[in-house]
């Protein structure tokens, strides 16, 4: 994972959030306050110009700049959660070209940051359900010797399955938890945006 590919990934996330904003907002309309797509589009929409005006020498600098921009410009619960995740990942990657193992460790750091800040565990119907599934699949593929593209493809499929797995769950964290049992039957918006972040990585890594 080198600096140029990292930049391409973050830009691909921004494009994906723009394309899926209405879908994410509709999911949030069912169990939240109908702003998740707007928040994600706005946050990553600020990241692209921030990166364009900033020379990044390492993978970590790209990710830290991404996270810092999300923290300062993106509202909602998801802004600080994703912002902390990208920052934590970036702090592990002080290199212009990360090995698959180093990149994996950065995914773990990101997941830990989300869990520490939000206090959610897998099964609570949050972004953690997709994030943990994606990271676990990335790990399994990496230890079996998969290259970045293959590991990212496995992770994207698993993160998407993790997002789907939130449908029957009862929300225990975030705004959806206020609905109690009425959150059952709806896919979590943050888990869905997490799956899109993994999908964007798989797409740029395959090019």
Instruction: Please tell me the count of residues contacting ligand ADP according to CB under 6 A.
Output: 24
- The residue within the footprint of ligand ADP, chosen from 21, 59, 113, 120 (CB under 6 A), is 120
Encoded one letter per residue, x for contact with Mg ion by CB under 5 A and - for no contact, window 20-49 reads --------x---xx-xx-------------
Q: What is the DSSP letter of 57?
A: -
CB 104 within 8 A of CB 155: no
Pick the closest to residue 163 from 197, 119, 115, 112 (CA basis): 197
- Cα–Cα distance, 67 to 80 (Å, whole number): 8
Pick the closest to residue 106 from 6, 17, 4 (CA basis): 6
- The residue within the footprint of ligand ADP, chosen from 190, 201, 202, 203 (CB under 6 A), is 190
Pick the closest to residue 38 from 83, 68, 71, 78 (CA basis): 78
- The residue within the footprint of ligand ADP, chosen from 35, 61, 139, 203 (CB under 6 A), is 35
Helices 3-31 and 189-206: crossing angle in degrees, nearest 10, is 150
Check residue 147 for interaction with ligand ADP (CB under 6 A): no
- The residue within the footprint of ligand ADP, chosen from 60, 67, 76, 122 (CB under 6 A), is 76
- The residue within the footprint of ligand ADP, chosen from 14, 20, 36, 200 (CB under 6 A), is 36
Check residue 174 for interaction with ligand ADP (CB under 6 A): yes
Residue 104, SS3 per DSSP: helix
- The residue within the footprint of ligand ADP, chosen from 10, 32, 158, 187 (CB under 6 A), is 32
- Cα–Cα distance, 188 to 180 (Å, whole number): 14
Binding site for ligand ADP (CB under 6 A): 28, 32-33, 35-36, 39, 76-78, 81, 114, 118-120, 126-128, 173-175, 188-191
List contacts with Mg ion (CB under 5 A): 28, 32-33, 35-36, 76
């Amino acid at each position: 994972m080198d600096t140029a590919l990292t930049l391409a990934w973050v830009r691909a996330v921004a494009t994906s959030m723009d394309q899926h904003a209405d879908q994410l907002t509709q999911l949030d309309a069912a169990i939240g306050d109908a702003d998740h797509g707007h928040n994600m589009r706005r946050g990553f929409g600020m990241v692209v110009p921030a990166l364009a005006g900033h020379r990044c020498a390492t993978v970590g600098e790209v990710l830290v700049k991404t996270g810092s921009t999300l923290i300062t410009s993106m509202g909602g619960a998801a802004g600080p959660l994703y912002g902390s995740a990208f920052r934590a990942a970036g702090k592990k990657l002080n290199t212009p070209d990360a090995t698959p193992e180093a990149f994996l460790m950065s995914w773990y750091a990101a997941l830990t940051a989300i869990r520490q800040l939000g206090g959610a565990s897998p099964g609570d119907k949050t972004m953690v359900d997709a994030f943990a599934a994606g990271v676990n699949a990335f790990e399994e593929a990496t230890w079996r010797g998969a290259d970045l593209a293959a590991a990212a493809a496995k992770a994207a499929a698993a993160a998407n399955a993790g997002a789907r797995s939130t449908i029957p769950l009862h929300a225990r964290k975030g705004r959806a938890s206020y609905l109690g049992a009425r959150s059952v039957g709806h896919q979590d918006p943050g888990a869905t945006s997490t799956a899109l972040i993994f999908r964007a990585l798989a797409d740029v890594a395959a090019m």
